[in-house]
Amino acid sequence: MLAYVIQRVFQSAIVLLVVGLVAFSMFRFVGDPVDNMLGQERTQADIERLRTQLGLDQPFPVQYFKFLTGAAQGNFGVSYRQGRPVSDILVERAPATLELAAVSGFLAISIGIALGVFTAIRRNGFAAHAIMSVSLIGVSLPTFLIGILLIYLFSVELGWLPSFGRGDTVKIGGWSTGFLTESGLKALILPSITLGLYQMTLIMRLVRSEMLEVLRQDYIRFARARGLRERAVNFRHALKNTLVPVITVTGLQLGSIIAFAIITETVFQWPGVGLLFINAIQFVDIPVMAAYLMLISVMFVGINLIVDLLYFAIDPRLRVDRTAAH
């Protein structure tokens, strides 16, 4: 087990280094931040002085090494646009994105698994066929279009929910939360549904497919032959074995929720790190862009690492295979 953990941690570190290199290399081609920071009255001397001040006159390997050493210490430099430490900006924006991702992930997992089990058990019923038909909406429609449709229906036509913003927030230590205010909870509904709908339908269809496969296994027939109740067969035996392969995909989808919250945040003008990244692209704010990609990469790789370890701990076949290999 320890050797497996060390191997996965080492692989995760390599992935983060490669992501940092690719991201830092790409930002060299998005434009020159000096053009946005200085006015039209700038002189060549002003340009050279600012480039020296920002370290842009140094060779690429030197810039990349300084970025990695600073990122390892939580220091991503100073925002070219706001003139503030990037880490402070991320700390301000991260609670909005994390709360949105948490609610979306909870909805996707809980509703997705529940509907997947229901449509597998009642696979020939009218309700199951209706749910599977409606789920095609979440799979086929792009996220931004779902958000626009929800805004039109619940904000423009019905006027029940706000169409943008985060609502009122409450400061608890260094964390700003919208869970404790009515406007904050209302503002969270539409973005969380928009962000979690695709993942929910994907998890639902995966759970249904896996459970139907498990229900065909011999040990399920044997359990029924022993006279076990259908509820015990479905939830104690079938569901437990269904969730083993679902864990991996669910972990990937949780990472996708955080990574692709950028679209939902743009549609709803949600003040999270995704919207911050979009604004940073417009102003060629390289430190903010690099910090965002590294932050998302750390979350994504961290979630995948946890999922791999849980999968290794839950599925005894993996432990047997590795023991046999040695």
Residue 219 has pLDDT above 80, yes or no: no
pLDDT level of residue 37 (50, 70, 90 thresholds):
low
Q: pLDDT exceeding 70 applies to what percent of the chain?
A: 89
Say what the pLDDT of residue 319 is. Answer: 55
Say what the pLDDT of residue 46 is. Answer: 76
Using the structure block, give the residue that is written with the tokens 């928009």.
194
pLDDT level of residue 191 (50, 70, 90 thresholds):
very high
DSSP 42-81: --HHHHHHHHHHHTTTS-HHHHHHHHHHHHHTT---B-TT
Say what the pLDDT of residue 244 is. Answer: 73
> To the nearest whole number, what is the mean pLDDT of the chain?
80
Quote the CA–CA distance of 51 and 58 in Å, as a whole number: 9
Query: pLDDT digit string (tens) for 45-71?
Result: 877 887 787 777 778 788 778 877 877
Say what the pLDDT of residue 317 is. Answer: 57
Query: pLDDT digit string (tens) for 120-148?
Result: 888 888 888 888 888 887 778 888 888 89
Say what the pLDDT of residue 248 is. Answer: 74
Q: Which of 30-34, 95-99, 143-147, 230-234 has the lowest mean pLDDT?
A: 30-34
Mutual angle of helices 86-121 and 273-282, in 10-degree steps: 130
pLDDT level of residue 151 (50, 70, 90 thresholds):
very high
pLDDT level of residue 10 (50, 70, 90 thresholds):
confident
Q: Mean pLDDT over residues 30-40, rounded?
A: 66
The residue type found at 151 is: I
Domain parsing of the chain, residue ranges: 86-284
pLDDT level of residue 318 (50, 70, 90 thresholds):
low
Which tops the pLDDT comparison, 232 or 40? Answer: 232
Q: pLDDT exceeding 90 applies to what percent of the chain?
A: 3
pLDDT level of residue 152 (50, 70, 90 thresholds):
very high
Q: Which of 156-160, 312-316, 320-324 has the lowest mean pLDDT?
A: 320-324
CA angle 151, 156, 162 (to 5 degrees): 60
Query: pLDDT digit string (tens) for 236-288?
Result: 777 777 777 777 777 777 777 877 788 888 889 888 888 888 888 877 777 88
**100: closest CA among 316, 257, 209?**
257
Q: Give the other-Cβ count within 10 Å of 73's Cβ.
A: 9
CATH topology of domain 86-284: MetI-like fold (1.10.3720)
**21: closest CA among 79, 60, 58?**
60
